[in-house]
Amino acid sequence: MTYVGREFQIYALAHPVTEELKYVGSTTKSLQMRLAAHLSEARAYRASPDEDRYCARNVWILGLLDASLVPSIVLLEGNSAQRRFDVERRWVNRLLNEGKRLLNAGLTVPAVFATASDYVDSIRALREVASLDVRHVGGGGCPTGSGVGYGSRNVECDACRALLRADRLLGVTS
């Protein structure tokens, strides 16, 4: 959905003390309503922490709430003439180019990686598995167990660990 011609706002969630921008989003609602929705989503994740609701933004918000802080919401741009998600992506890219460490899933270095170099290391490890420079333990006898996929990976195996990291990056859970 791109909402061409519909009024929307591009906003950022920021740390209330450091003012560091942590997340970029778009909304057709008021900024205060959107902030309230983010807080509600984070609290719902705490109440029922399933993997379908996991996102780095929720974890970050919960950390702030635990410290009796609430993220601030900052208007970046109001727009109705362009495609909503194109404008949002432009802001994400602009802030990434400025060196901001955003929590947006799928648009930045994912939250499972502390830094961009961790991300590059993970891609390098996957390449080594794909090119057979790193092999599964036991001559390919893993993953161990009766199943296949995420739950059956052998954490003692370098190849399986690389695949587990990729699974986390892609959000694969089974």
Residue 23: name the closest of 66, 69, 56 by CA. 56
pTM: 0.56
Regions of the chain with pLDDT less than 50: 1-5, 107-112, 114, 146, 150
pLDDT at 109: 45
Residue 71: name the closest of 33, 35, 28 by CA. 35
pLDDT at 55: 80
CA gap 174, 64 in Å, rounded: 31
pLDDT at 108: 42
pLDDT in tens, 120-150: 677 777 777 777 777 777 666 665 554 555 4
pLDDT at 159: 80
CA gap 94, 82 in Å, rounded: 17
pLDDT at 73: 97
What kind and span of H or E run contains 93?
A: helix 84-97
